[in-house]
Structure 1
Amino acid sequence: GPGGPGAMGAQAQPVSVGVVERRDMRVLISAIGTMNPRATAVVRAKVSGELLRLHFKEGDEVKAGQLLAEIDPRSFQASFNQIQGTLQRDQALLKNAQLDLQRYKELQAQDSIAGQQVDTQAALVRQYQGTVAADQAQADAAKLQLSYTRITAPIAGRLGLRQADRGNVVNPSDANGIVTITQVKPIDAVFSVPEAHVGTLARRLAEGRELPVELWDRDLKQQLGRGRLNAVDNSIDIATGTIKAKAAFDNAEGRLFANQFVNVKLEVDRLEQALTVPTTAVQNNYVYLVQEDGTVTQRRIAVGVTDGDRVSVKGELKPGEQVVVDGIDRLREGAKVTVIEPDKVQKVDQAVQDASGQPRGMRNLPPDVRAKLATMNPDERKAYLQKLRAERGGQRNGGNGGSGGNGGNGGNVTAPAAEGSAPAGRSPAPSPGSPQPSPGPAPVAPSAPAAPAAPAPAGR
């Protein structure tokens, strides 16, 4: 009858499937990396004074030489003007001494003046030349000090938070300076690679081959950037058995920050036209293959590399064949299955997510139940789920409350596969060592009293 021991074995189980395909697969090394800026500069005042104006906003992108702040220049301007006046006076004295020397030389040629007087005038000219040179040096130094009152960006990059406000007196000795600039376009990622891959990386870098690198966020859900391997360190860390590597990224969108932790995927090789299946189809070292007669059979496989949502395998599989990816926990060797369209399952998975984005246990329901829910509006879906929970609770109460006179019948009350199988949790995966037998009658519920006269299940 419908509730008999063979009911579950004869009923087609709803499943979702994926297709066996040949694809190019990347051989990836995964690591945790840290973003390092190409350059970092703390912008400090080079002269002491009151900070009059700030010409930047925190977080701005600036160019090298761009004006960032101004210090009160009045005292430096006065010093420069004073030295400039002294320079002009001494230049005038030098000019007059040079003219006198020229006249003395003309008179000496006419034997109208003593040679000693000419020599004295020549010495005076050299003295004034030295004085003018010293004045010029002082004027240049004063001009340089005056220019330091305009604080500019030493490098191009991204500004950090402001460390000094307008009206503060700043000094060259200030530890934090006014602001820090980090050069993040481009930016580097530093990460560790197992020493087993050192030879391959060094050889490919020497050959000039590009090794692509991807950066992902902490949850491996969003790609942050694509770059290339730049260099490998010259020594291995004996404590960890790894070597440091550096990859470069353009960071044109500015999504990467200094000292940011990222997940790194380094492509070291590529498998061409490898046989692949969805990762969710793999159970230890086997998959369930859907046959033409609507039954499934186990196929042993050797698992290779994983790239995204697919994994390379070796085994008795052919491109185009279908393997089970959802509903595996209800299958055994030779079980009949009904293939559910994956778009319906995905639609209901998205529809029943709560406000936090976490599915409310829906992935534990059979695919046909999820597909049925996809056709309902929210009110109908809520009522259906409440009914499903009530029926499941009633079945559990019936199984636990069976009398001894009924033997094991209380344990044979079984919910339909579409409603009662998944909520009870996932069954342990069948042993890959041998095909699994068809299930016998359901065992007696733990709380039901055992009936001594009940016959032993056949085939167990």
Structure 2
Amino acid sequence: MLALVVAVGTLAVGGKAFLGTRAGGSAPPAAKPTAIPVTVAKVTIRDLPIERSGLGTVTSLNAIDVKFRADGQLQNISLQEGRDVQAGDVLAQIDRRPYEAQLAQAEAAYQKDTASLNNAKADEARANRLSQTGAGTMQAIDTARSQVAVLTAALAGDQAAIDAARLNLEFTTVKAPIAGRVGLRQIDEGAVVHASDSSGLVSITQMAPISVRFSLPQDDLPALLAGQAQRELAVAVDSRDGTRHLADGKLAVIDSQVDTSTGMIRLKAIFPNQDQALWPGELVTARILIRTDRNAVVVPSAAVQNGQNGSYIFIIKSDGSVAAAPVKTGPSVGDFTALLSGASPGQDAVLDGQSRLANGSLVSPREQPADGPATSGNAS
């Protein structure tokens, strides 16, 4: 019985000692905070092309309606619709015979008056000789001289008639006045045409070079004038949806006044268009390079956040945590934004997951993929 009491007491003391050790001992260590995975990119230095863009229309420098300059039956049409022609190429032929007859008539009159003039000159010479011997009179000399003058004038008129007849004969051959692309034919062979007809033979549109007319807000006018004073401003043209680049050219004209109804200034750029990538009447997006900001401090635009106090970016510190750095932003070009203050080249900026971050948050950074933001695009 005594042995049982001793055993129970020993167990009670041991249990109390065990419980005291659990109650008074140190707590287990706290778990370390989990690092938030984020994508980062370096703050870098690069040149930023500052552009402005606007919707424009492709316009031919010369587009004409080829009309007839002689009357007659249209005997032959040699043009091919939709083909390119050069200045001077024969397009059609009008019946030449009436104009050949007119030319022959004018030449005959010239020959007749030439013979008469030669005879009048001979009469004048005889009158002068007779006057010198006293056998002639001054009246005869004056009459001979007047006849020579009359026939000389008639001969000049005959020459003018010959020139006019030759010109009319030349007009029977319809030629392309400019180089360009032929449109749809407006008349058929065998028709009788007149110089007074309102409709012509065909239209010709100059394709190269070609122009693009577009508009920009009047607020861009000072920058445009300043850039044009220094150099020719480059203009790039893309498809209307911006998916395809079409051509590169130069700014040619800034309009002399702002449209008061829209507040826009009209511009015209010239493009070589040898490959005919631009088509008259086509709607395009024109981008004009106003200037290039050299050695700008930039960061991918995805890194820039907007808060109540302005723009900021999350910078990775050396201990693996982040800090929100207020920044002053400049123009954005493509996927990059210029930083005028608040960040330095070489710093790591967070590109995604900013909604889960706060000052001091521990992050697990990974580099931006190689196919990151491009540098092309329009500046805002």
Q: Do the structures match in fold with TM over 0.5? A: yes
Question: Which residue of structure 2 lines up, in the alignment, with residue 125 of structure 1?
Answer: 148
Per-residue deviation, 1:18: 4.9
Question: Which residue of structure 2 lines up, in the alignment, with residue 388 of structure 1?
Answer: none
SS in 2 for 1:185: coil
Per-residue deviation, 1:250: 2.5
Q: Give the distance between the partners of 2:341 and 2:369, measured in 1 at CA.
A: 25
Q: Give the distance between the partners of 2:183 and 2:168, measured in 1 at CA.
A: 26
Correspondent of 1:153 among 155, 165, 176: 176
Letter in 2 for 1:245: L
Per-residue deviation, 1:46: 0.7
Q: Give the distance between the partners of 2:132 and 2:319, measured in 1 at CA.
A: 128
Task: Indicate if the aligned counterparts of 1:299 and 1:315 stay in contact, CA closer than 8 A.
Answer: no
More strand by share: 2
Q: Give the distance between the partners of 1:311 and 1:129, measured in 2 at CA.
A: 84
Correspondent of 2:336 among 310, 313, 317: 310
Question: Which residue of structure 1 lines up, in the alignment, with residue 356 of structure 2?
Answer: 332
1:67 paired to 2:90: yes
Higher deviation after alignment, 85-94 or 100-109:
100-109
Larger Cα Rg: Structure 1 or Structure 2? 2
Question: Which residue of structure 1 lines up, in the alignment, with residue 188 of structure 2?
Answer: 165
Q: Give the distance between the partners of 2:319 and 2:190, measured in 1 at CA.
A: 85
For residues 293 and 177 of structure 1, do their structure 2 counterparts lie closer, same or farther at Cα, with a shift above 3 Å needed?
farther
Per-residue deviation, 1:25: 0.7
Question: Which residue of structure 2 lines up, in the alignment, with residue 427 of structure 1?
Answer: none
| Structure 2 runs not aligned, ≥5 long | 1-32, 373-380
SS in 2 for 1:234: strand
For residues 336 and 153 of structure 1, do their structure 2 counterparts lie closer, same or farther at Cα, with a shift above 3 Å needed?
same
Per-residue deviation, 1:303: 4.1
Once the two structures are superposed, residues 51-76 of structure 1 have per-residue CA deviations (whole angstroms, 9 ceiling, x without a partner) of 23334333444433333322221111
Question: Which residue of structure 2 lines up, in the alignment, with residue 185 of structure 1?
Answer: 208
Per-residue deviation, 1:335: 7.8
**Count, aligned residues:** 334
Equivalent runs, 1:14-93 vs 2, <5 Å: 18-93=41-116
Once the two structures are superposed, residues 416-440 of structure 1 have per-residue CA deviations (whole angstroms, 9 ceiling, x without a partner) of xxxxxxxxxxxxxxxxxxxxxxxxx
Q: Give the distance between the partners of 1:58 and 1:231, measured in 2 at CA.
A: 33
Task: Indicate if the aligned counterparts of 1:216 and 1:264 stay in contact, CA closer than 8 A.
Answer: yes
Per-residue deviation, 1:114: 4.8
Per-residue deviation, 1:217: 1.1
Q: Give the distance between the partners of 2:188 and 2:324, measured in 1 at CA.
A: 71
Higher deviation after alignment, 257-266 or 296-305:
296-305
Q: Give the distance between the partners of 2:354 and 2:336, measured in 1 at CA.
A: 23
Q: Give the distance between the partners of 2:93 and 2:76, measured in 1 at CA.
A: 5
Q: Give the distance between the partners of 1:305 and 1:165, measured in 2 at CA.
A: 59
| Structure 1 runs not aligned, ≥5 long | 1-8, 346-460
Equivalent runs, 1:138-287 vs 2, <5 Å: 138-205=161-228, 207-282=229-304, 284=306, 285=311
Higher deviation after alignment, 191-200 or 154-163:
154-163
Q: Give the distance between the partners of 1:280 and 1:274, measured in 2 at CA.
A: 17
Once the two structures are superposed, residues 320-349 of structure 1 have per-residue CA deviations (whole angstroms, 9 ceiling, x without a partner) of 555566xx479622586685984799xxxx
Correspondent of 1:103 among 114, 126, 134: 126
Task: Indicate if the aligned counterparts of 2:178 and 2:204 stay in contact, CA closer than 8 A.
Answer: yes
SS in 2 for 1:231: strand
Letter in 1 for 2:266: K
Letter in 1 for 2:356: R
Task: Indicate if the aligned counterparts of 1:288 and 1:323 stay in contact, CA closer than 8 A.
Answer: yes
For residues 125 and 344 of structure 1, do their structure 2 counterparts lie closer, same or farther at Cα, with a shift above 3 Å needed?
closer
Task: Indicate if the aligned counterparts of 2:40 and 2:365 stay in contact, CA closer than 8 A.
Answer: no
Q: Give the distance between the partners of 1:16 and 1:237, measured in 2 at CA.
A: 47
Q: Give the distance between the partners of 2:161 and 2:108, measured in 1 at CA.
A: 11
Per-residue deviation, 1:27: 1.9
Q: Give the distance between the partners of 1:241 and 1:344, measured in 2 at CA.
A: 40
For residues 161 and 324 of structure 1, do their structure 2 counterparts lie closer, same or farther at Cα, with a shift above 3 Å needed?
farther
SS in 2 for 1:235: strand
For residues 280 and 45 of structure 1, do their structure 2 counterparts lie closer, same or farther at Cα, with a shift above 3 Å needed?
farther
Task: Indicate if the aligned counterparts of 2:213 and 2:267 stay in contact, CA closer than 8 A.
Answer: yes
Aligned residues with identical type, % of pairs = 34
For residues 156 and 100 of structure 1, do their structure 2 counterparts lie closer, same or farther at Cα, with a shift above 3 Å needed?
same
For residues 11 and 172 of structure 1, do their structure 2 counterparts lie closer, same or farther at Cα, with a shift above 3 Å needed?
farther
Q: Give the distance between the partners of 1:213 and 1:44, measured in 2 at CA.
A: 36
Per-residue deviation, 1:44: 1.0
Per-residue deviation, 1:252: 3.1
Report the TM-score when normalising by structure 2. 0.73
Q: Give the distance between the partners of 1:200 and 1:343, measured in 2 at CA.
A: 35
Once the two structures are superposed, residues 291-312 of structure 1 have per-residue CA deviations (whole angstroms, 9 ceiling, x without a partner) of 7888877665544322233332
Q: Give the distance between the partners of 1:229 and 1:30, measured in 2 at CA.
A: 13
Per-residue deviation, 1:136: 2.0
For residues 278 and 62 of structure 1, do their structure 2 counterparts lie closer, same or farther at Cα, with a shift above 3 Å needed?
farther
Task: Indicate if the aligned counterparts of 1:296 and 1:337 stay in contact, CA closer than 8 A.
Answer: no
Per-residue deviation, 1:195: 2.0
Q: Which has the higher relative contact order, 1 or 2, with Cα contacts under 8 A spaced 6 or more apart? A: 2
Q: Give the distance between the partners of 1:209 and 1:26, measured in 2 at CA.
A: 15
